[in-house]
Each structure stands twice: as C-alpha cells, then as structure tokens.
C-alpha cells in the first residue's frame, strides 16, 4: 500500500513541471473538459456514493455534485492562474503566479464524489498535479470520479500523471503519501485524527475542523423562514456536511412561535425520556456520534432509539439546558438531530452560541436569523466563527451556494480551529505569488568617511610663516607643519592647527 503512495507521488512530481509550463488557455481547456465530464456523470457519481457508503440522500448527493461541477467551475473559470495575475501601477508591483506543486488530497466518505470533483478542479486550475487518497469506505465511487475526470483531462492534453488516485487505501498509506518528499501541499478533509496527521506531516496543509454550527433566531426574525432554513440545512443529505445546523438558539419572546413552525415543517420535539433514549443510541461513551447513524434519516434513528414519531418527520429536536460533557447531544451531530435552547435575549443567545462553538465548532460556521442590523453586526464581531451566514441555511450559505462566499467544499477554520486559513479554499490557495517590485523612492545613501591615513612624515624645514589656508591644506593632505620659535603663525591658523594637531613644534636651539 505504501509502495503505491510513493509511486503515485513520484508520478505526479514528473507531471508538475509540464503542467507548470502550460499557458492559461491550455489550463482552462483542461479544466473545462474535466468539469464537463463531471457534469455528464453527476447522477451516476451520486448513486454510487449512496450505494457504497450508505450515507445521505441521492437527490442531495446529486445537488452537491452539481455544485462542485457547475458552481465551483463557474467561479474559478475566469481566474488568472498563469503568469502575471495582477498589477498595481501606483505601487509598481507585478504579481506572478507559481504553482505550489503536488497536492495530496484526502477525500472523506461523507461527501466523497463532490469533494473529489472540487479538489481535482481547483488543483488543475492552479497547475498542480493531484494524488487523491479516498476514504476506505468510499474507494469505488471516488475511483470512478478520478478515472472519469482523468480521461477527460488526458483528452484535453493534460500531462500523464496530472490526476492520480490510490486504490490500495489504509491510514498508513495515506500518511506515507502526506509525508512523501514529492508532495508539496495537503488538502485534508476528514476526522480530527486525520486532520492532525496532515498538520504533523511536515508540509503546508489545509485542514478542516468540525462544525457544530449553532443557529440563532432573534426576536425580529421571519420565524417561519428561519425554521424552514434550519430544517432545510439540517435535513440536506441527512446532515452530513460539517456546516450543517446542530443547535437552535431562540429568544424566549418568539420561542413558542418558533416551536410551532418547526413542528409544522417536520420537526419532532422529544420528551426528556425520548431524549435520554436517543442519547444512549446516538452518542458513544467517548462523546462522539455513533458511526452507525451518521447520514441516516430521522425515521431510522428514531426507530433504533425506540421512539415513535409522526409520519413526515424530517428532524428530531432535543431540548437541552446546557453545553458540554454533561449534555452529550450538544456535540456535532452528523445526522438529522438538533439540540434546542431558549434564551431570554440576544446577549444571552450570543453567549450560548459561543459555548456551542467552543464545544467542537471553533472557527467554522453559524447562522443568525434577524432583521436587526446592529445585533447581526454584534454577532459578526463577537462570534468565534469565520462564516456567520444571515437569514440562510448554514449548510448552503457556508459553501457559497446561497451567499456570496467563494464556492468551496473545504472550509478553513482559521486560528480558532487550528487551521492555517479561515478562507473557503480555492485555486488561489494552491498558488505561490512572486512579486516584481520597482523602486518608488531612492534609498538614503550614507557617505562613508575617508579611511584614516598614516600621518605624512614631518617636514625637515621649519616653516617661517603659517596662515589659515596652510593649516587647512595640511589637514586635507594628512600631513603636519613643523614650526619653531621664530615661525609667524596667524591667530586663526594657530587655533585650527592646534585643534587638528597639525602644528608640530621643532626642538629649541641653543
């Protein structure tokens, strides 16, 4: 397995200089061909992903594949990634793109085909060869994507080795790939263990932390729309995206109205006993989601928990009083389960959202549903999240599907989440930028003093008369003037000469 990882890294490295020399037109032709091939297989990719992993919803997998093949492609298509990519005439700086090099791309089982499409597209746009490492439970569907996109790239004259993928997958092989000397940068999407391994591989790495996104409903919100947005986001692909809603925090003034709207739109509130039953099934003793129920429907999870729910239930909702180890359902839940908190005002809501983010979602995503702009801004200023989406589902807003954020399937969590960036990752993150910088103002030039010279030998003749000009010349030439008792010296010459130690007294004669 490790042998394959080494061989693929070396193969990609051989392709790197060829890809780096491609023109912008050549790169765009390759990327266009790859995106077109992905669009043609959107549904087959999705179907195989659901069949192989058992996660999610076919229609939503199709939507994610379409997002990667269409929205991401449309966003990156006009980007300049070759040669001069920027000029600042006022500052006289020219920016030149340089590809990072071989990309090691770790692809998860939760969003396997869409993430593979997205990572291949952004790597090629940046002129970087890529080696894809699939999650062990999604090897077939990710391989299908890589094979399909590689065939299209080759037809568009991409070099051999521009797209590579591992077929013999293990944690050891993935670690070998990430540490290989020919790999320049890592795109890691997966569990925290894998992301930490990426950061410890000794290479630049873009990792993604967990989500645990809170959703705050403020008293001025359109409550019906807020409920719809949160349920839509949570139910999308059965809650598999890391930016999926995980908690609802609602102001007391509109809590009853919100509860009715959630119930009307498919949310089922659990009794304390049902919450306990759900917790026992859904959360492991290590306070992690039970893998058996990741990406499963609300009906499947309810049945396994012995809970009777109305037909048409989309999301299970558990009312909690706190956050942390004593409240297991306050963690990130990769399935259609929400925790529910009622707060007295937006200030208390602000603190509750901070607590939720600190318990496994630092730097990722949250939403606020409100029409009160000062409150919205306060949430933007104070929350430890780098995507605070307003009046939209966190799932869709964070990736740029319903907002103006850069379309991406890898979302950085910045310093809060232990990541190198807080950006949505695009081809720009796989480029180094060289800068030509012309002089705007001359540097101050320091004139060095003349090197000290040995004093000239004293003259043998005693001067008869010494004026100011004689002394100044002697100083300039680095020599002395011998004077005696009969030498006539003007007052200024004596003053300057004695200060400069130019005048040398001849011995007295008998």
Sheet holding 431-437, edge to edge: 84-88, 93-99, 431-437
Nearest to 164 by CA among 125, 134, 199, 195: 134
How many other C-beta atoms are found inside a 10 Å radius of the C-beta of residue 168?
11
Q: How far apart are CA 344 and CA 361, in angstroms?
A: 23
Alpha helical stretches, state H, 359-430: 373-382, 394-398
Q: What's the number of domains the chain is made of?
A: 3
Q: How far apart are CA 466 and CA 443, in angstroms?
A: 44
203 & 324 share domain? no
Question: Whole-number mean pLDDT of the chain?
Answer: 93
Write the CA distances from 195 to 103, 199, 378, 420, integer angstroms: 15, 6, 31, 12
**CATH number for 336:** 3.40.309.10
Which residues are catalytic, by number? 242
pLDDT on residue 457: 45
Q: Which positions of the chain have pLDDT values less than 70? A: 1, 447-460, 507-510
Q: How far apart are CA 90 and CA 128, in angstroms?
A: 32
**CATH number for 147:** 3.40.605.10
pLDDT on residue 447: 65
188 & 219 share domain? no
What angle, 0 to 180 degrees and rounded to 10, lies between the N-to-C axes of helices 468-477 and 491-499?
A: 20
The pLDDT tens digits of the residues spanning 46-81 come to: 999 999 999 999 999 999 999 999 999 999 999 999
Host domain of residue 138: 2-208+427-437
The backbone torsions φ and ψ at residue 463, rounded to the nearest 5 degrees and listed phi first, read -70, 140
Q: How many CA atoms lie within 13 A of 395 on its CB side?
A: 26
74 & 39 share domain? yes
pLDDT on residue 88: 95
In a domain, 333, yes or no: yes
314 & 432 share domain? no
264 & 136 share domain? no
In a domain, 360, yes or no: yes
189 & 254 share domain? no
Write the CA distances from 468 to 88, 455, 472, integer angstroms: 58, 19, 6
305 & 328 share domain? yes
């Amino acid at each position: 397995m490790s042998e394959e990882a080494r061989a693929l890294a070396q193969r990609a490295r051989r392709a790197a200089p060829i890809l780096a020399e491609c023109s912008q037109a050549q790169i765009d032709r390759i990327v266009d061909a790859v995106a077109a091939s992905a669009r043609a297989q959107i549904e087959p990719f999705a179907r195989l992903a659901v069949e192989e992993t058992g996660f999610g919803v076919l229609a939503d997998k199709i939507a994610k594949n379409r997002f990667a093949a269409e929205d991401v492609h449309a966003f990156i298509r006009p980007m300049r990634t070759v040669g001069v990519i920027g000029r600042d005439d006022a500052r006289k700086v020219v920016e030149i793109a340089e590809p990072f090099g071989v990309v090691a791309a770790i692809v998860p089982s939760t969003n396997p085909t869409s993430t593979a499409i997205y990572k291949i597209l952004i790597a090629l746009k940046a002129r970087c060869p890529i080696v894809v490492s699939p999650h062990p439970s999604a090897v077939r569907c990710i391989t299908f994507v890589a094979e399909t996109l590689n065939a299209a790239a080759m037809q568009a004259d991409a070099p051999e080795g521009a797209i590579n993928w591992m077929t013999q997958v293990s944690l050891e092989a993935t670690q070998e790939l990430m540490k290989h000397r020919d790999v320049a940068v890592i795109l890691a999407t997966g569990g925290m263990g894998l992301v930490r391994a990426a950061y410890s591989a000794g290479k630049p790495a873009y990792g993604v932390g967990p989500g645990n996104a809170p959703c705050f409903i403020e008293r001025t919100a359109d409550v019906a729309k807020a409920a719809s947005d949160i349920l839509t986001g949570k139910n999308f692909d059965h809650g598999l995206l890391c930016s999926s809603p995980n908690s609802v925090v609602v102001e007391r003034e509109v809590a009853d109205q919100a509860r009715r709207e959630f119930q009307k739109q498919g949310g089922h509130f659990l009794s304390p006993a049902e919450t306990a039953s759900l917790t026992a099934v859904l959360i492991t003793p290590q306070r992690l989601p039970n893998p058996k129920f990741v990406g499963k429907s609300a009906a499947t999870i309810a049945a396994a928990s012995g809970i009777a729910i109305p037909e048409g239930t989309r999301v299970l909702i558990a009312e909690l009083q706190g956050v942390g180890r004593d409240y297991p359902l306050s963690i990130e839940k990769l399935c259609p389960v929400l925790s529910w908190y009622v707060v007295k005002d937006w200030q208390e809501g602000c603190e509750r959202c901070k607590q939720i983010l600190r318990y496994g979602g630092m730097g990722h995503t949250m939403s606020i549903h409100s029409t009160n702009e000062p409150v919205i801004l306060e949430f933007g200023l104070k929350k430890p999240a780098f995507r605070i989406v307003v009046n939209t589902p966190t799932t869709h807003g964070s990736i740029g599907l319903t907002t103006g954020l850069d379309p991406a399937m890898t979302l950085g969590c910045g310093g809060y989440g232990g990541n190198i960036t807080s950006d949505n990752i695009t081809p720009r993150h796989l480029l180094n930028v060289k800068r030509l910088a012309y002089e705007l103002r001359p540097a101050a030039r320091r004139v060095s003093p003349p090197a000290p010279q040995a004093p000239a030998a004293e003259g043998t003749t005693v001067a008869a008369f010494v004026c100011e000009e004689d002394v100044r010349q002697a100083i300039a030439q680095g020599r002395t003037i011998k004077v005696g008792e009969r030498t006539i010296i003007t007052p200024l010459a004596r003053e300057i000469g004695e200060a400069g130690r130019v005048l040398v007294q001849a011995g007295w004669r008998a």
